[in-house]
């Protein structure tokens, strides 16, 4: 699969392509900006799951199985990439605010 197609697939659901957020950091197939996009999507997906859970919409088991990473892990990886995330004051809840 060409790298552009691989990125397009991976950004759609990063948790499906990577075992952990740290695996995004070490993947040489993507440049820094792509890694930030992947992690930002992962962050968005986790926050959406938090909202759904709070609203009583339990995600399917296979979705939960893919999203074993915590929001803290994703935010720390974004911080390592210099994505402007302040992990000292990051909001690790559904509202974000980082």
Q: What is the pLDDT of residue 49?
A: 84
Number of domains composing the chain: 1
Torsion of CA 54, 57, 61, 66, to 10 degrees: -60
Answer yes or no: is 91 within a domain: no
Answer yes or no: is 86 within a domain: no
What is the model's pTM?
0.74
**Max CA-CA distance within the chain?**
40
What is the extent of the structural domain holding 67?
A: 3-80
Please give the DSSP secondary-structure letter assigned to residue 56. Answer: T
Answer yes or no: is 22 within a domain: yes
pLDDT digits (tens, 9 = 90+) for 21-63: 999 999 999 999 999 999 999 999 888 888 877 666 665 555 5
CA separation for the pair 98, 91 (Å, rounded): 6
Task: Please report which confidence band the pLDDT of residue 7 belongs to, taking 50, 70 and 90 as the band edges.
Answer: very high
Answer yes or no: is 65 within a domain: yes
pLDDT digits (tens, 9 = 90+) for 13-23: 999 999 999 99
Answer yes or no: is 95 within a domain: no
Q: Who wins on pLDDT, 2 or 24?
A: 24
Rounded to the nearest 5°, which phi and psi values hold at 20? -160, 165
């Amino acid at each position: 699969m060409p790298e552009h197609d691989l990125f397009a697939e991976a950004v759609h659901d990063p948790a499906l392509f990577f075992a952990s957020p740290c695996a995004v950091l070490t993947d040489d197939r993507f440049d820094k900006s792509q890694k930030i996009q992947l992690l930002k999507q992962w962050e968005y997906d986790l926050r959406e799951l938090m909202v759904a859970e709070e609203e009583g919409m339990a995600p399917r088991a296979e979705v939960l199985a893919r999203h074993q990473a915590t929001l803290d892990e994703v935010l720390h990886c974004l911080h390592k990439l210099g994505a402007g995330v302040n992990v000292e004051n990051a909001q690790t809840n559904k509202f974000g605010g980082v």
